[in-house]
């Protein structure tokens, strides 16, 4: 006889449960994962501003809206598929689908509809390349990460992190109509940053992931191995995040910010990598929580530096005829 897994029981319970309340507008906004969306908008804005071409503000705003809505649509599809996992995790059990406010079918329809609209509108507003990249990103997040990798491998966040890394590349493509070394490096910065960022979170949310049966690195490989990998990924991140300084999107401001941010990130990752589980439990995972906070500030600082660099370049270009800066990539 085929055994029924807890995930299947939970999914069945969610789909059969009567609606707990009529959904408000706010509930549909929550389905789009607004916090993730704000990060997507910010990194995409940096990609758009750093692109070495002038984009009409209307086209820029419209493209950013499409990228944000596309990311939100992927989030809605993720919430539809993962409702069983979300119901078992403290952090996510109040989301609209597991709490019964929005029915799974509604979340699916909402996600698919917005995916289609955002991709089509981006191809009209910007170009087919940007629209194709957005479509691939939604597919990658909803199908490759959510449906396949998340439940099957502890490398879920490593490969799945690509979905979160695409927005600046899509915005760059919307502005220039091409993919270049600078936009690939922007992608790589977020791609390599994602594992240490999420594993720092997973270390102090380990119980939640274990209860939900999600094979996050600390659940499968143990804390010691996770700490070692956090350190290794941080070492890879250093050159990857400094390299954009020597592209058309970089410059002295970006280089200075990248050096300072990497020092802070290396310091917090080193602390996390040198600790054992006993010490971490004793002080309530202080270093891990701190590293998680540092990682958010780190990404914010790097992408703010891209924006600052673009503004500085425009001002200097207009008043002082620009300045020489080595562009290697």
Positions that interact with another protein (CB under 8 A) = 21-26, 28-29, 56-59, 61-62, 65, 125
At closest approach, how far in Å is the CB of 262 from another protein?
38
CB 292 within 8 A of CB 194: no
Q: How far apart are CA 55 and CA 37, in angstroms?
A: 22
- Quick one: residue 279, left, alpha or beta (phi over 0 = left, psi -120 to 50 = alpha)? alpha
In the complex with another protein, which residue's Cβ is closer, 3 or 56? 56
In the complex with another protein, which residue's Cβ is closer, 4 or 58? 58
At closest approach, how far in Å is the CB of 249 from another protein?
24
In the complex with another protein, which residue's Cβ is closer, 114 or 135? 114
At closest approach, how far in Å is the CB of 76 from another protein?
15
In the complex with another protein, which residue's Cβ is closer, 79 or 190? 79
At closest approach, how far in Å is the CB of 14 from another protein?
20
At closest approach, how far in Å is the CB of 116 from another protein?
14
Q: How far apart are CA 108 and CA 76, in angstroms?
A: 7
In the complex with another protein, which residue's Cβ is closer, 40 or 64? 64
At closest approach, how far in Å is the CB of 56 from another protein?
4
Structure tokens at 306: 């891209």
CB 272 within 8 A of CB 203: yes
Cα–Cα–Cα angle for 189, 61, 186, nearest 5°? 10
In the complex with another protein, which residue's Cβ is closer, 21 or 297? 21
Ordered DSSP codes for 181-248: HHHHHHHHHHHHHHHHHHHHHHHHTHHHHHHHT---HHHHT-HHHHHHHHHHHHHHHHHHHHGGGGST
């Amino acid at each position: 006889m085929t055994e029924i897994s807890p995930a299947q029981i939970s999914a069945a319970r969610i789909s059969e449960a009567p609606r707990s309340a009529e959904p408000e507008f706010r509930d549909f906004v929550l389905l789009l994962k607004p916090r993730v969306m704000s990060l997507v908008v910010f990194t995409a804005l940096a990609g758009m501003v750093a692109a070495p071409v002038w984009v009409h503000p209307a086209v820029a705003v419209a493209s950013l809206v499409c990228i944000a809505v596309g990311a939100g649509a992927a989030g809605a599809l993720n919430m539809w598929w993962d409702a069983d996992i979300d119901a078992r995790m403290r952090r996510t059990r109040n989301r609209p689908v597991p709490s019964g406010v929005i029915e799974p079918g509604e979340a699916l329809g909402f996600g698919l509809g917005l995916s289609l609209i955002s991709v089509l509108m981006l191809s009209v507003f910007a170009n087919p390349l940007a629209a194709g990249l957005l479509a691939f990103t939604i597919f990658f997040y909803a199908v490759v990460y959510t449906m396949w990798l998340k439940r099957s491998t502890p490398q879920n966040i490593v490969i799945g992190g690509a979905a979160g890394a695409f927005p600046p590349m899509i915005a760059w493509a919307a502005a220039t109509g091409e993919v270049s070394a600078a936009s690939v490096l922007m992608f790589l910065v977020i791609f390599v940053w994602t594992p240490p960022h999420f594993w720092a979170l997973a270390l102090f949310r380990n119980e939640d992931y274990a209860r939900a049966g999600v094979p996050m690195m600390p659940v499968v490989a143990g804390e010691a191995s996770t700490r070692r990998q956090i350190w290794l990924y941080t070492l890879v991140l250093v050159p990857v995040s400094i390299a954009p300084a020597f592209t058309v999107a970089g410059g002295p401001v970006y280089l200075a910010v990248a050096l300072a941010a990497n020092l802070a990130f290396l310091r917090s990752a080193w602390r996390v990598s040198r600790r054992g589980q006993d010490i971490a439990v004793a002080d309530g995972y202080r270093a891990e929580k701190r590293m998680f906070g540092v990682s958010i500030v780190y990404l914010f600082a790097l992408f703010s530096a891209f924006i600052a660099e673009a503004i500085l370049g425009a001002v200097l270009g207009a008043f002082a005829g620009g300045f020489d800066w080595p562009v290697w990539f």
